[in-house]
Amino acid sequence: MGASGRWNDGIVTSYYSASSLALDRRLSKCVRDNVHGNIYLDKLSLKFVDTEQFQRLRELKQLGLTHYVYPGAVHSRFEHSLGVYWLAGQAIHTINAHQGLELGIDRFDIQTVKLAGLLHDVGHGPFSHLFERAFLPRVNVNWSHEDMSAKMIDYIVDVHHIEIDAEVVKKVKELIVSSLEHASEKSVNEKRFLYDIVANGRNGIDVDKFDYIVRDSRACGLGCNFEFQRLMETMRVIDDEICYRAKDYLTVQKLFSTRADLHRTVYMHAKVKAIELMVVDALTKANDNLGLASSIQEPEKYWKLDDSILKRIETSDNQELKEARDLILRIRRRDLYQFCNEFSVPKDELEHFRNVTPQDIVCSQVNGGVTLEEEDVAVSNVKIDLTRGRKDPLESINFFKDYESNDKFLIQNDRISHLLPGFYQDMIVRVYSKKPELVDAVSKAFENFQVKKYGRKAQVHETPEKKKHRR
C-alpha cells in the first residue's frame, strides 16, 4: 500500500488515491463506533474478530466495576479494541503517507500494527485490571494480560486455522508485549518507531491511551478537552522514533494530565475501590472451588473467564461459595465496606514508601472498647501519576520545530509555562472498615498509625461522626 505525501503549512496532505481507498473499504466490514464513527475491518482482522475468543471481550467491561458508581461506564473491551485497531491503522497510514518511501513502510508493517491494535487486549482478565493486579497477587500468582494476549493469538490461529504468515504473528506479539525491551535485537531495518504506536514503552504516548481516554470520559459523562487528532495528524518519525511538533507540547501534557484526572475521579474513586476490595475478597474465597487461578495459564480454559464470574457465584447453591456469595449480595444491596479516611503520602516519603497493610492499622490500635482483627480492615494504596512514576513523562518525549527540520529535541517545562506541575505522583492511602459497627475503631487506629508514622495526622479531613458511629 505504497503512498507518498507532503507537509503543507502544518496540514496533512495525503496522496492515497480515492479509488484505492474505496476499494479497500469495499473489501472491508463497516462497524459504526460511537467515538470514531465508521470503522472498517479488513478481511484478515475480521477472521480474528469473528471468533469466540475475541467476542469474549464483549463480556469484559472496560472499566471493570466502575459502573456501580458511574452507571454509564458499561462499555466493553470489545469496542475499545476496535477503536485501537482503527487508530493504529490511522497512525501508520498517516506516517506512510508522508514518509513511507523514506522509512520503507510496507504491507507487512501496516498489517502487523493494525492487528496489534486489534488484539492487544485479547488476553485481558475480568474486571479490568483488578483480576491481574489485585486478585492474582492475593493468591500468589504472577501473570500479565499482555503475555496472555500473545498466547491467545497463537491459540486463535491454531484453533481456527487462520491463514497468516508466521512472521506476521511473531511481529504482532512483539508489538503487544512491547516495546523496546521485548523487541528482537536491533537491526538496520527493524523500524523501531512501529513499537511507539500501540503500546509505547518509550514515552507512553500511544493510540491505546488515545482511545480509552476519550471513550471512558464519554461513558462516564465527563468532558474531555484532550484532542488526540491533533497529535495523530502531525506525528513524524525522526531517528526511528515518533516525534511531535514543539507547538503541540501542551497537547501532549494534556494527554497525561487528563489520564491522571480520570484515575483520580473515576478509576480510583473511593467507592469504586471499596467495591473492588469486596470483589477481590469474594474471588479469593471462591478461588479453590472455581479454580480461577489455575485456569489462567491455558488459553483453552482462560478464554471462558469473564465478568460473569460474579453471577456464577451469586446464583450458585454450593455451600462452599456462601462467604463469597454473601459479599456479592452486600454489593447488590449497597452494604459496602465503609470508607473511614485517607491521606496523601508526604512527598519526601514517596521514594521509600511501603504499602500500608491491615496489620499496620490493627497494630496501631490503642486500647478501647473493641479489639480489631486484620480481617476487619481493608486498605487501598492508590498510586496516581502521569505515567512514569515520580518522573516527568515529557522529559522522554522528543519534538521537532517544523516540517522542514530534521532535528529532534527535548523541551523543558519552564520554557513553556510556569503553571505546569512540578511533581508527578500522588500516593493515597485509604482505609475501610468491613463492618459498619467498627468504623469508629478503625478510624481511630488509622489516625494513630499516621501519628506514629509521620508524627502527625496526614489526612486532610476528619471522618464524619455519623459514619464513625453507624450501626
The CA-based angle 288-293-294, given to 5 degrees, is 85
**Mean pLDDT along residues 311-329:** 97
The grid coordinates of residue 385 equal 501519576
Q: What is the largest CA-CA distance in the chain?
A: 80
**Which amino acid makes up residue 91?**
A
Question: What is residue 424's predicted lDDT score, i.e. its pLDDT?
Answer: 83
Instruction: Quick: pLDDT tens for 202-261.
Output: 999 999 999 999 999 999 999 898 999 999 999 999 999 999 999 999 999 999 999 999
User: So where are the chain's domains?
Assistant: 5-254, 338-386+424-471
**Mean pLDDT along residues 446-463:** 80
Question: What is residue 468's predicted lDDT score, i.e. its pLDDT?
Answer: 61
How far is it, in rounded angstroms, from Cα 292 to Cα 141?
11
Question: What is residue 428's predicted lDDT score, i.e. its pLDDT?
Answer: 95
Question: What is residue 28's predicted lDDT score, i.e. its pLDDT?
Answer: 86
Question: What is residue 254's predicted lDDT score, i.e. its pLDDT?
Answer: 94
**Which amino acid makes up residue 436?**
P
Question: What is residue 422's predicted lDDT score, i.e. its pLDDT?
Answer: 79
Question: What is residue 386's predicted lDDT score, i.e. its pLDDT?
Answer: 85
Residues labelled as active-site residues:
145
Instruction: Starting at the earlier edge strand, list the strands of the sheet with 338-344.
Output: 338-344, 425-433, 377-385
What is the C-alpha end-to-end distance of the chain, expressed in Å? Answer: 68
Question: What is residue 18's predicted lDDT score, i.e. its pLDDT?
Answer: 45
**Mean pLDDT along residues 377-404:** 91
Instruction: Quick: pLDDT tens for 260-291.
Output: 999 999 999 999 999 999 999 999 999 999 99
How far is it, in rounded angstroms, from Cα 272 to Cα 79?
22
Mean pLDDT estimate for the chain: 89
The length of the chain in residues reads: 471
Question: Taking the complete model, does pTM exceed 0.85, yes or no?
Answer: yes
**Mean pLDDT along residues 345-362:** 93
Looking at residue 34, the DSSP 8-state letter turns out to be: T
Looking at residue 51, the DSSP 8-state letter turns out to be: S
The grid coordinates of residue 305 equal 473467564
- Supply the CATH classification number for the domain 5-254: 1.10.3210.10
The grid coordinates of residue 187 equal 537491526
Q: Burial-class residue 262 by CB neighbours within 10 Å (0-12, 13-18, 19+).
A: buried
Which uninterrupted H or E stretch holds 244?
A: strand 241-245
Contact criterion met (CB below 8 Å) for 295 and 305: yes
Confidence of residue 415 (pLDDT cuts 50, 70, 90): confident
Contact criterion met (CB below 8 Å) for 27 and 92: no
Question: What is residue 11's predicted lDDT score, i.e. its pLDDT?
Answer: 35
Contact criterion met (CB below 8 Å) for 393 and 258: no
Question: What is residue 412's predicted lDDT score, i.e. its pLDDT?
Answer: 85
61, β-bridge pairs: 76
Question: What is residue 358's predicted lDDT score, i.e. its pLDDT?
Answer: 97
Q: Classify the C-alpha dihedral 351-356-359-361 as positive or negative.
A: positive
How far is it, in rounded angstroms, from Cα 297 to Cα 299?
6
Task: Give the contacts of 5 (CB within 8 A, at least 6 positions apart).
Answer: 12, 13, 14, 15, 97, 98, 100
3-state helix, strand, coil in the chain (%, to 5): 50, 10, 35
Fold (topology level) of 338-386+424-471: Alpha-Beta Plaits (3.30.70)
> Does residue 21 have a pLDDT over 60?
no
Contact criterion met (CB below 8 Å) for 57 and 305: no
Instruction: Quick: pLDDT tens for 134-145.
Output: 999 999 999 999
> Does residue 131 have a pLDDT over 70?
yes
Q: Burial-class residue 222 by CB neighbours within 10 Å (0-12, 13-18, 19+).
A: middle
Closest CA to 12 of 198, 241, 235: 235
Closest CA to 81 of 43, 144, 28, 35: 35
SS3 label, residue 38: strand
